[in-house]
Structure 1
Amino acid sequence: DTVEVAFLGRSNVGKSSLINSLCNYRGLALVSGQPGKTKTINYFDIESKEDISETEERRYHWFLVDLPGYGFAKTNKDNRNMWSSFISDYILHSERLMLLCLLIDGRHPEMPIDKVAFDWLVEAGVPLQIVVTKVDKLNAKEKSVNLAKIKAMYPTDSPPIMYSSLKHTGRELLQQRINQVLVGEEA
């Protein structure tokens, strides 16, 4: 069975840009000026590799799962209940989901809706990785203050990963984190 790593976040958190950056493939996940465009669960079939030594590499086959953003602004009120039931069905019932990356906008770490999502995911027992997006838009002081807030508000087993899709900062760290999960699965 192929392992799944899912990505979830508020509608304009920069999820599509992060997916494109992580996969080094522009246009893989469609970036839209209109947040909340992704209305379906999209699966991307990924093969990634990791250099073990100068002569040896390890290859991984996994699914990157792009979940629709939550808290959409421009939908009818029925959709406002956090996220659609099919998203919670997926999160609660996918046996292949080994990691969920919850994306938090580095500029706005204290959004109540993100805390609600986090608490729900923790309650559901989902293995979480916090990924802090748009860090290129922060100065050094803001980065350190906001990272401290994020660590306090969203405690997980592994530290939050600061990510900039623009500069690919954090890309290697996130790939390593995903590889750890994949190795654990394949071991």
Structure 2
Amino acid sequence: MSKLWQARFFRTANHLRDLPRLNVPEIAFVGRSNAGKSSAINTLCNQKNLAYASRTPGRTQHINFFSIGGAHVAQHRHDPVDENKVELFLVDLPGYGYAQISGTAKEHWQKLLSDYLITRPQLSGLILVMDSRHPFQPLDVSLLEWFAVTGKPIHCLLTKADKLNRRESSEALKQVDTILRSYIDENGHPFPFSAQLFSSTKRTGLKEATAFILNLAGQPENTDPV
């Protein structure tokens, strides 16, 4: 049983002052609004409606925190979480590239997102969610290059892999790996970038993604998700 199955909604933040004050690792998920980010979070946490997928992509403008630890799988989903036992947060960041919101609201949303990603000390790494059929759209590349300066790991989750056959899946992953390896720092060292295939429908890549997230947060587990 995966530790991520303990996930509970913890808090929504619309300003930096609203962020949790707990000093625990945070793993953030970000991606285009139609890349399957909410579905990936729900699948990893073995819940149907933990991360909300709006019918109008790009409307979510807040940062949503889901706690791991302080609750048990068997408990009611709305039972309170013991903050003293929270071990890490999964963080659902606003989707980008499809937002139909006003200019002022969009500016606030973009600043909140950028300030969180660059200044948040608890942030251990980023999960960049991309549709495996259309990886590295311009905004994905921009985010990758912009966040790379933090030196923190980026793991690309190539979603909707069930839409590809075996050859197409292999080629998609090879293409993404090649692009990621092309990024090196000023000393010629590769950035901590990685990628994998994932399917919420078929649960493809679930074990690999879970292990990566927990290891990144310093919370490895010996049991496998089923």
**TM-score range relative to shorter protein:** 0.7 to 0.9
Amino acid of the residue matched to residue 139 of structure 1? N
Aligned letter for 1:41? I
Q: Say which structure is richer in strand.
A: 1
Alignment of 1:176 onto 2:186: no
2:39 counterpart of 1:17? yes
Aligned residues: 175
TM-score if structure 2 supplies the norm length?
0.70
Amino acid at match of 1:112: P
- In structure 2, how many angstroms separate the alpha carbons of the residues matched to 1:130 and 1:144? 15
Q: Secondary structure at the match of 2:90?
A: strand
Q: Give the unaligned 5+ runs of structure 1.
A: 50-58
CA contact 2:33–2:95 (8 Å) conserved in 1: yes
- Structure 2 SS opposite 1:108: coil
Measure the CA separation in 2 of the matches of 1:79 and 1:119.
25
Structure 2 residue 30 is matched with structure 1 residue 8: yes
Residue ranges of structure 2 left out of the alignment (5+ in a row): 1-22, 73-84, 182-190, 221-226
Match of 2:184 in 1: none
Q: 1:26 aligns with which of 48, 58, 63?
A: 48
Residue 72 of structure 1, CA deviation: 2.1
Identical aligned residues as a percent = 38
CA apart distance, 1:62: 0.9
Matched residue, 2:192: 157
Distance in 2, matches of 1:107 and 1:146, equals: 7
Structure 1 residue 73 displacement after superposition: 4.4
Contact in 2 for aligned 1:5/1:99 (Cα 8 Å):
yes
Change (3 A) 1:110 1:130: closer
Structure of larger gyration radius: 2
Counterpart mapping for 1:47-62 below 5 A = 47=69, 61-62=87-88
Tell me if structure 2 keeps the 8 A contact 1:115–1:154.
Answer: no
